[in-house]
Amino acid sequence: MPLLAQMKLLINLARIDGEVAERERSYIRNIGLANNVEKSKIDPLFDQRHDLIVPTDLSSDQKFNYIFSLVQLMKIDERMYKEEILFCSKIAAKLGYNEEVMFDLMLHVRAAAMEENEMAALQKLTEKYLHQS
């Protein structure tokens, strides 16, 4: 299930600085709830270790959602650590993006909610970094 894999990657990213802050926990929980995952299935994920598994059969929309949510989570606590940026770059590469996608994402992604047209423009911008299969 791509959503569960995405949530596990987000939890791994949130742990990089040593702890999962409440804002990070809430962000991840909201992604699950918005996709009809019960809170009782989400909360135990925060107490487990997760392998870095990136599904290989994702659509370009799903790939964008993965990398967007990782960058937005990284920005949510208003501190970006080198380790977080490296983690996101590594996942971007596994998703099939050129690692330079991180520059555009870090410039344009905001921690606050973004409008649908902003998201569409950002997705179009990042498509040029996606390797054609």
75-80-83 Cα angle (round to 5): 125
Q: What is the maximal distance between C-alpha atoms in the chain?
A: 39
| Band (132; pLDDT cuts 50, 70, 90) | low
What pairs with residue 130 in β-bridges? 97
- The tokens for 53 are 């598994």
The pLDDT assigned to 19 comes to 84
* Beta carbons within 8 Å of 47's beta carbon, 6+ residues apart: none
| 77-88: pLDDT as tens digits | 777 788 999 999
- Domain segments of the chain as ranges: 2-127
The pLDDT assigned to 44 comes to 95
Distances in whole angstroms, Cα of residue 44 to Cα of each of 23, 29, 95: 17, 11, 26
| 57-111: pLDDT as tens digits | 999 999 999 999 999 999 987 777 889 999 999 999 999 999 889 999 999 999 9
